[in-house]
Amino acid sequence: MKIFVTPGSSAAATILITGAIGDYGKTLTIDKSGKTDPNGNYVRITLQKGMFELDSTTLDAKANSTKPIFYKATCSAQLSATGPVTLFDGTGLYKGITGTLNIIETYAFISPLSTSGQNKGKCNLSAQPISQYSSITGSGTVSF
């Protein structure tokens, strides 16, 4: 199975799955008790034919400890983290789902320059990026 996620600006995102599962829908980042949490280590995946959850604790730890590559001369940066997630708690067509996916998270951005003050002309990393990119992809074996 392969997944393709387009992250949103909050806890929600869109997902497309190919291979063993041909389906699409939404994701929601949650905490262990199932409450919406943009910083949670679990994800609820709601598809057209059912739903399941995944535990992204290991992947999140790797992403949080990875330092971005920053290019000071162009105020641009990139970050990529890879790690496993485990699937569980399926409903509908995905009842009894188990498996592990290897996920790759990729982020890149360009920051604006400061326009005034002592940092005029330097990268303003506290401002909204002027352009950004993010993707989450992965593959693995599942059964249900």
Q: Which of 57, 52, 58, 62 is nearest to 40 (CA)?
A: 57
CA dist., res. 62 & res. 123, Å (int): 26
Q: Each residue's pLDDT tens digit in the chain (144 positions)? A: 999 999 987 889 999 999 989 999 999 999 999 999 999 999 999 999 999 999 999 999 999 999 999 999 999 999 999 999 999 999 999 999 999 999 999 999 999 999 999 999 999 999 999 999 999 999 999 998
Work out the widest C-alpha separation in the chain, in whole angstroms: 59
Which pLDDT value is given to residue 10?
A: 84
Judge whether 94 and 140 are in contact, CB under 8 Å: no
Tokens of 122: 């330097």
pTM of the model: 0.89
User: Reduced to 3 states, what is the DSSP secondary structure of residue 34?
Assistant: coil
